[in-house]
Amino acid sequence: MVNASRSEPDNAAPVADGRPTLQVSGLQFAYPDGQQALQNVSLHIAAGEKVALVGPNGAGKSTLMLHLNGLLHGEGEIVVAGLPVVKANFPVIRAKVGMVFQNPDDQLFSPTVFEDVAFGPLHMGYPEAEVRQRVAAALTAVGMAAHSSRLSHHLSIGQKKRVAIATVLAMNPEILVLDEPSAGLDPRGRRQLINLLRDLPLTMLVSTHDMLLVQELFPRMVIMDEGRIVADGPTAVLLPDVALLEAHGLEAVGGSHDA
């Protein structure tokens, strides 16, 4: 594995006990058909870091992400904000890990935007006043405060993606985990998403094929291929390495792209 030396980004905030927000150690996972999807994956992310997870289709990125809140369970150890990801901790872990899927329609199922964003806090048993406060704060953070009464299925894909992010922000997560957030967006929607992610003061792990998004937003880049982490280091070091990118099914920045 390429371990490019890296310093913590300027926005990395220390945690009180010195532990990273996310620790993955020796994670192994095989699907029932025998396909080995993850092979000895170890990854530590400090509080405040914004990390891009890149690699070709089938590299294991989505499989790794689904382990972070217990939707999949393999061998190894995962700790989020000091809590091991085990069944007894799932309710708390799933509030701490804000998972946003590639297709927002997988996440939005209530009649209105307000109800979608309120679902998580209500399910956790918060009183009505706090639920309303959390919904208002989350929708304001994603620029959708004026749309709380709209029907979710009438929104544009860019608006849906922002509401999907708001549904997890309402849970006050420790880490935001996004799968291909810029997929399907037009240039305006993509720019709005970039500005949103840049301004959110949260630890992030974002899986993407959008290398310009990586270049613009993420100080650290982790490359996966065939279930392994093959490189982990500063984006400024790894992204210009054309041979490394091409060896692992990635395109170097420099081609045309809507921005």
**In DSSP terms, which residues pair with 79 in a beta bridge?**
23, 84
Establish if 259 belongs to a structural domain: no
Cα dihedral: 36, 53, 233, 228 (round 10)? 0
Beta strands in the chain, from DSSP E residues, in sequence order = 22-30, 36-45, 50-54, 75-80, 83-84, 97-100, 175-179, 203-207, 220-225, 228-234
Establish if 253 belongs to a structural domain: no
Establish if 257 belongs to a structural domain: no
2: which DSSP letter? B
Establish if 258 belongs to a structural domain: no
CB 216, CB 197: distance < 8 Å? no
Establish if 151 belongs to a structural domain: yes
CB 112, CB 148: distance < 8 Å? yes
Establish if 7 belongs to a structural domain: no
Establish if 83 belongs to a structural domain: yes
> Token digits for 203?
């630890």
Count structural domains, the chain: 1
**Amino acid in the structure at residue 195:** N
Residues of the chain with pLDDT under 70: 1-19, 254-259
Percent of the chain with pLDDT over 90: 78
Q: In the sheet where 228-234 sits, what is the strand order?
A: 97-100, 175-179, 203-207, 50-54, 220-225, 228-234
Provide the pLDDT for residue 19. Answer: 61
Establish if 124 belongs to a structural domain: yes
Provide the pLDDT for residue 202. Answer: 92
> Token digits for 172?
């006050």
What's the domain range around 37? 22-247
Instruction: Find the CATH number of the domain harbouring 195.
Output: 3.40.50.300
Query: What secondary structure does DSSP assign to 166-230, as a single string?
Result: HHHHTT--SEEEEESTTTT--HHHHHHHHHHHHH--SEEEEE-S-HHHHHHH-SEEEEEETTEEE
Provide the pLDDT for residue 20. Answer: 85
